[in-house]
Structure 1
């Protein structure tokens, strides 16, 4: 899996600001209570992140928004669907 802070080794066209976007939720803390580091996605311009409370149990989660054709987002979809 690519770490979000890594810069791609090859040049790829950037996804534009007006591309359709979709969210993906991540844990905000590991099992010891340490927060995860959030870094911008280098593959899509509309990327953004927000911290929200889970509606079921009230715990904080990180919601990242990526362009639907962002390579990192599509990799995550494939990884979590396996």
Structure 2
């Protein structure tokens, strides 16, 4: 990733997504808060093979997105 992509978190930035569980192991729903680091952040709820997941979309240069990818 070049420096322009790393620092671009505007609405025109390229985006990527990450799928996350919607519920913890006890069945409690996770809270979803908007990302304060990138403008194109949004989430969607997806049914994947019978499991409810949350797909978060971020600018690929978003530091929060990069942190999620590392985990």
TM-score for both structures, normalised by structure 1: 0.74
Matched, 1:50 2:44: yes
The structure that is strand-richer by fraction is 2
TM-score for both structures, normalised by structure 2: 0.84
Q: When the two structures are aligned, how many residues end up with a matched partner? A: 65
User: Structure 2 regions of 5+ residues with no counterpart?
Assistant: 1-6
Structure 1 residue aligned with 2:58 = 66
Structure 2 residue aligned with 1:22 = 16
User: Structure 1 regions of 5+ residues with no counterpart?
Assistant: 1-12
RMSD between aligned alpha carbons?
1.4
**4+ aligned runs moved over 2 Å, structure 1:** none
Q: Is the CA contact 1:28–1:61 (under 8 Å) kept in the aligned structure 2?
A: yes
The structure that is helix-richer by fraction is 2
